[in-house]
């Protein structure tokens, strides 16, 4: 067993620092419980000399994921919460998309997200989860020994953290939009003059005048109705 463990450590050390899948964790590979998103991220300790392969957060940290600490388990999180209809690892099978598996230990569909957090493994150890051998879990069965499962969490309301390149593109986009708006404003034609009536030149202020055409017949009601009154004070 020690020889196998040493070989696993050597393989992990020689592996490139990138998870098998560098993309957002599939929605059916994690669960939300106690106000946090939870993912079963590795069959090894998160870090330390006894780890058979530390988890990789180089990409997933930009999605808000971090290693669960003791306080996170106060909600009562345990392995049963990863079991739900439609979870990525079917009963006694493997995820056809990521390859994640429990080596046939799970009798019902269970979420395992190791391929998103490890560059060496794609499985989760179901029996370790059942016995509570989980990194930082207060009731862990073998504190300080190898090998615990590692679970990770994130705030579902927090969302992903943009990478530096994303921030640069976002800022450049805002600048471009601002420049376009300024150019449009500068090129806009002057607003048309108001359609309100203006006092004709030479017409005295402060007086009201009745302007009406001379009727052709004395009793032409239509002509009288057309009489207009203008306020010369404008």
Query: Which tens digit of pLDDT belongs to each residue from 95-131?
Result: 999 999 999 899 999 999 999 999 999 999 999 999 9
Distance CA 59, CA 153 (A): 14
Residue-wise over 1-39: b if at least 16 C-beta within 10 A, else e? eeeeeeebbeebeeeeeebbbeeebbebbbbebeebbbb
Q: How many CB atoms lie within 10 A of CB 47?
A: 12
Distance CA 58, CA 54 (A): 12
- Between the alpha carbon of residue 89 and those of residues 128, 151, 180, the distances in Å are 17, 16, 50
Query: Which tens digit of pLDDT belongs to each residue from 51-86?
Result: 998 899 999 999 999 999 999 999 999 999 999 999
Q: How far apart are the first and last CA of the chain?
A: 101
Query: Which tens digit of pLDDT belongs to each residue from 165-209?
Result: 554 565 666 666 666 777 776 666 655 554 444 555 555 555 554
Does the pLDDT of residue 16 top 90, yes or no? no
């Amino acid at each position: 067993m020690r020889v196998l463990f040493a070989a696993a450590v050597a393989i992990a050390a020689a592996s490139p620092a990138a998870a098998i899948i560098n993309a957002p964790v599939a929605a059916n590979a994690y669960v939300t419980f106690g106000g946090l998103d939870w993912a079963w991220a590795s069959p090894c300790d998160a870090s330390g000399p006894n780890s058979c392969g530390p988890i990789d957060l180089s990409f997933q940290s930009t999605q808000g994921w971090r290693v669960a600490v003791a306080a996170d388990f106060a909600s009562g999180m345990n392995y049963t919460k990863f079991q739900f209809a439609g979870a990525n690892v079917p009963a006694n099978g493997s995820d056809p998309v990521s390859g994640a598996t429990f080596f046939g230990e799970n009798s019902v569909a269970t979420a395992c997200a190791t391929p998103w957090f490890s560059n060496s493994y794609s499985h989760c150890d179901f029996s370790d989860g059942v016995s509570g051998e989980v990194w930082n879990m207060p009731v862990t069965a073998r504190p300080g020994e190898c090998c615990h499962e590692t679970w990770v969490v994130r705030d579902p309301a927090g969302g992903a953290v943009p990478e530096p390149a994303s921030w640069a593109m976002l800022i450049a986009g805002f600048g471009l939009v601002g420049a376009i708006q300024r150019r449009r404003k500068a090129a806009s034609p002057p607003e048309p003059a108001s359609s309100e009536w203006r006092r004709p030149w030479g017409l005295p202020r402060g007086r009201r005048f009745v302007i009406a055409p001379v009727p052709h017949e004395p009793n032409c009601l239509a002509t009288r109705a057309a009489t207009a009154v203008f306020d010369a004070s404008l």
